[in-house]
């Protein structure tokens, strides 16, 4: 059967997927319907940070699904409290609100910031503003794409809600200049993912923390991709020794098997919610809580944060050592690396297609950057296996 043709005939064309049909995966390896094996260097944009089919996650999922799976928050369970307790312990914050997807958690953060602005900062009703960064990517809802600087994300989906100000990413001074009496929050990714693994200047987050404190503005960080060990720390903000007022998590929180996300914040921020002010049918259900709790335990007990720092350093060194005149820059932290190529010579998508033919799964962004984000369980030998093929592809692409 032509699975790609079938999928295209019945699916809206909202993705330009690589031409491969995956059938199964284990750890860092995936196999297609023809039996060909691939090294997964994307891990579903960090959703599979623990590797495909982690035995502890599968065991927890099956055990819980056979007892109590989906329950609404109309009732309590014995799992949600322990899950969120562990989450706030790891983040150093106070309370959490469970959701399903990263975009839902971002929407939750927006609602919390605005309500905090009205209730705590006494901003005039419907005047609250949130400062965001150019080239941001926080999800696909209409609210979120409404404050994107990428016109392709916005085209045909307006009208959009107001209340957002765009400033250059990495420029703390621009954020301070944009703050007014109506500013309730700054919402940014500590490292921009969809923009091409863009790391801000050293001290950026520390400056933002100081600016937000100075002007009584919330600092909200979207760590849906960068969080939970991806950058070699539990959270990317820890590289600069700060703490946000609100933290958005998702992807890896679901252990690669189930959508789990959360908005975590201080008491002051979370206290703005009351019964009926926000909710989600599936958010915080028993199965999600059990999987999330096990995912946090696996990251800690298998030392995946430390592994990400060590293996990420090794991967970055290998990538930077490549001799190729099409590579403009290699940037990243931990096991989250972007390789920017000279788009005048070759598109990053063409490189992705060539890597696929050589057994390496990656994905480009904007046709200019290859992203490498393998499961945090990857070994040095597996990185070497992948790098042999990456180096071969880049050598052939030399102009």
- DSSP code string of 252-280: GGGTTTS--EEEEE-HHHHTT--TTSS--
* CATH number for the domain formed by residue range(s) 3-54+303-396: 3.90.1150.10
10 Å CB burial of residue 13 (0-12, 13-18, 19+) is exposed
Active site residue: 222, 245, 363, 364, which one?
Answer: 222
Concerning whether 364 is annotated as a catalytic residue, the answer is: no
Active site residue: 137, 164, 282, 394, which one?
Answer: 137
Give CATH 3.40.640.10 domain extents, the chain. 55-301
Residue 263's closest CA among 206, 293, 222, 213? 222
Q: Edge-to-edge strands of the sheet including 360-361?
A: 22-26, 29-32, 37-40, 360-361
Give the span between the Cα atoms of 44 and 363, in whole angstroms.
Answer: 10
pTM check: above 0.95: yes
Give CATH 3.90.1150.10 domain extents, the chain. 3-54+303-396
CATH class of the domain at 55-301: alpha beta
Residue in this structure with the two tokens 């926000």, named with its chain if needed: 278
Concerning whether 222 is annotated as a catalytic residue, the answer is: yes
* Sign of the CA dihedral running 328, 332, 335, 337: negative
- For the stretch 286-307, pLDDT in tens is 999 999 999 999 999 999 999 9
Which two structure tokens, joined as six digits, stand for 33? 């319907």
Task: Give the containing element (helix H, strand E) for 223.
Answer: none
Concerning whether 120 is annotated as a catalytic residue, the answer is: no
- For the stretch 214-260, pLDDT in tens is 999 999 999 999 999 999 999 999 999 999 999 999 999 999 999 99
The proportion of the chain whose per-residue pLDDT surpasses 70, expressed as a percent, equals 99
Give the span between the Cα atoms of 380 and 378, in whole angstroms.
Answer: 7
Active site residue: 40, 245, 251, 364, which one?
Answer: 251
Per-chain mean pLDDT for the chain: 97
* Sign of the CA dihedral running 42, 45, 49, 53: negative
């Amino acid at each position: 059967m032509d699975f790609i043709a079938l999928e295209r005939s019945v699916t809206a064309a909202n993705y330009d997927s690589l031409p491969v049909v995956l059938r199964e995966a284990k750890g860092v390896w995936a196999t297609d319907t023809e039996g060909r094996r691939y090294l997964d260097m994307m891990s579903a944009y960090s959703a599979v940070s623990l590797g495909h089919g982690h035995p502890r996650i599968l065991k927890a999922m099956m055990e819980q699904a056979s007892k109590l799976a989906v329950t609404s928050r109309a009732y309590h369970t014995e799992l949600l409290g322990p899950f969120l307790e562990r989450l706030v312990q790891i983040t150093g914050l106070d309370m959490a609100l469970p959701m399903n997807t990263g975009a839902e958690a971002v929407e939750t953060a927006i609602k919390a910031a605005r309500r905090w602005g009205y209730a705590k900062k006494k901003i005039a009703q419907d005047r609250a503003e949130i400062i965001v960064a150019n080239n941001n990517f926080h999800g696909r809802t209409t609210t979120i794409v409404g404050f994107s600087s990428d016109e392709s994300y916005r085209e045909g989906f307006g009208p959009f809600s107001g209340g957002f100000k765009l400033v250059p990413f990495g420029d703390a001074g621009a954020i301070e200049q944009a703050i007014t009496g109506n500013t309730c929050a700054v919402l940014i990714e500590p490292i921009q993912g969809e923009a091409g693994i863009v790391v801000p200047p050293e001290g950026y987050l520390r400056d933002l923390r100081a600016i937000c404190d100075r002007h009584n503005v919330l600092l909200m960080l979207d760590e849906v991709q960068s969080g939970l060990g991806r950058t070699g720390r539990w959270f990317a903000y820890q590289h600069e020794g700060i703490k946000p007022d609100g933290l958005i998590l998702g992807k890896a929180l679901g252990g690669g098997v189930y959508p789990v996300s959360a908005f975590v914040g201080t008491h002051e921020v979370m206290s703005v919610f009351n019964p009926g002010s926000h909710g989600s049918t599936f958010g915080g259900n028993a199965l999600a809580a059990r999987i999330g709790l096990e995912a946090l335990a696996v990251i800690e007990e298998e030392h995946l944060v430390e592994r990400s720092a060590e293996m990420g350093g090794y991967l970055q060194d290998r990538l930077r050592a490549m001799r190729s005149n099409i590579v403009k820059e290699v940037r990243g932290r931990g096991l989250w690396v972007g390789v920017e190529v000279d788009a005048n010579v070759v598109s990053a998508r063409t490189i992705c297609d060539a890597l696929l033919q050589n057994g390496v799964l990656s994905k480009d962004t904007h046709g200019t950057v290859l992203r490498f984000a393998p499961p945090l369980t990857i070994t040095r030998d597996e990185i070497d296996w992948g790098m042999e093929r990456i180096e071969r592809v880049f050598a052939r692409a030399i102009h």
